[in-house]
Copies of this chain bind each other. A is one copy, B any other.
Amino acid sequence: MHKICIIGLGLLGGSIGKECLEKKLSKKVIGFGRNHDSLKKALQLQLVHEISDDFNNIHDADLVIIATPVKQIELVLKQIKPFLSKSTLITDVGSTKTNIINSVKNILGAESKNFIGSHPIAGSEKNGPEAAQNNLFNKKNIIITPHKLNTESSIKKIEDFWKQLNGNTIIMSPENHDEIFSTVSHLPHALAISFMSMINKKENREELLNFAASGFRDFTRIAASSPEMWRDIFIDNKEACLKDLKSYIEQLKEFENALEDETTLFDFIHNGSDLRKNWDE
């Protein structure tokens, strides 16, 4: 490729840039972002060839990757729309897909044919350009969620891009994506965050935290993720998240009943435990 533009140089955008540079996937990789300090840091860390705050620079890009938090994607699309050429493909790395695709259609109209949504299942509780790393996408699932206006060849180009980062691409509808990730990702985040909020309210929270050990550490790791990013994800995937939360509360009430009753408790625990033991990442 001649030019790749990455908007947002946090963990995901930064790691994409880093790998594009190392693998020489594009003659030029330009980074854009709201935060000038982060941009400068990204340049220092050699995550991109150049940084810019002028969207004129994207007019001849082969690929624009929007790697901002999901709620900013709409604003970014409005900002870059005047500078998009007909041959520029656009993708994102957002953890929700249906709302994003709807925004894209509203904002870009017929030109939304050049936008193909992506969600790399790769991340960490860390963020910012300092968190960028090599091989972040290696063997990781990359969900690609085409919509009706996308052409086969555009979809293939986006797939090929992720395959060059050693990702394992999977095609799925935005709706199916959002339901699945509500359950396996957004719900656990909501649960870990709520657990930490509960601890936060306790008068003896310092004592509690002193006695927390490795089970607590792993269970709550995802609660340390970026509050801004997760607020946006929850709001963007609100319907599926609320449905899963309700279903989970029912599950907790079933646990409560099993604990009161005692006779069914073993089976309840065993069912969950067995499924986890047999799961391989």
Chain A residues with CB under 8 Å of chain B are 121-124, 140-141, 143, 180-181, 183-185, 187-200, 202, 204-205, 207-209, 211-228, 230-231, 234-235, 238, 241-242, 245-249, 251-256, 259-260, 262, 265-266, 268-277, 279, 281
List the B side residues contacting A184 at CB < 8 Å.
199, 208-209, 211-213, 216
- A271 smallest CB distance to B (angstroms): 5
A244 nearest CB across to chain B (Å): 8
Report chain B residues within 8 Å CB of A221. Answer: 215, 218-219, 276
The quantity of this chain's copies bound in the complex is 2
Distance between Cα atoms of A227 and B272 in the complex (Å): 9
Bound Cα distance from A259 to B204, whole angstroms: 27
* CB–CB A227/B266 < 8 A: yes
Which residue, A124, A212, A260, has most C-beta atoms of chain B within 10 A?
A: A212
- Chain B residues near A265 (CB, 8 Å)? 231, 234-235
Across-interface contacts of A193 in B (CB, < 8 A): 255, 268-269, 272-273
Given A200-B272, A269-B193, the answer on whether A211 and B121 have CB atoms closer than 8 Å is yes
- Residue contact A191 to B191, C-beta cutoff 8 Å: yes
Q: How far is the CB of A184 from chain B (nearest CB, A)?
A: 4
Q: Are B211 and A141 in contact (CB under 8 A)?
A: yes
Chain B residue nearest to A143 in the complex (CB): B211
Q: Would you give the shortest CB distance from A247 to chain B, in whole angstroms?
A: 6
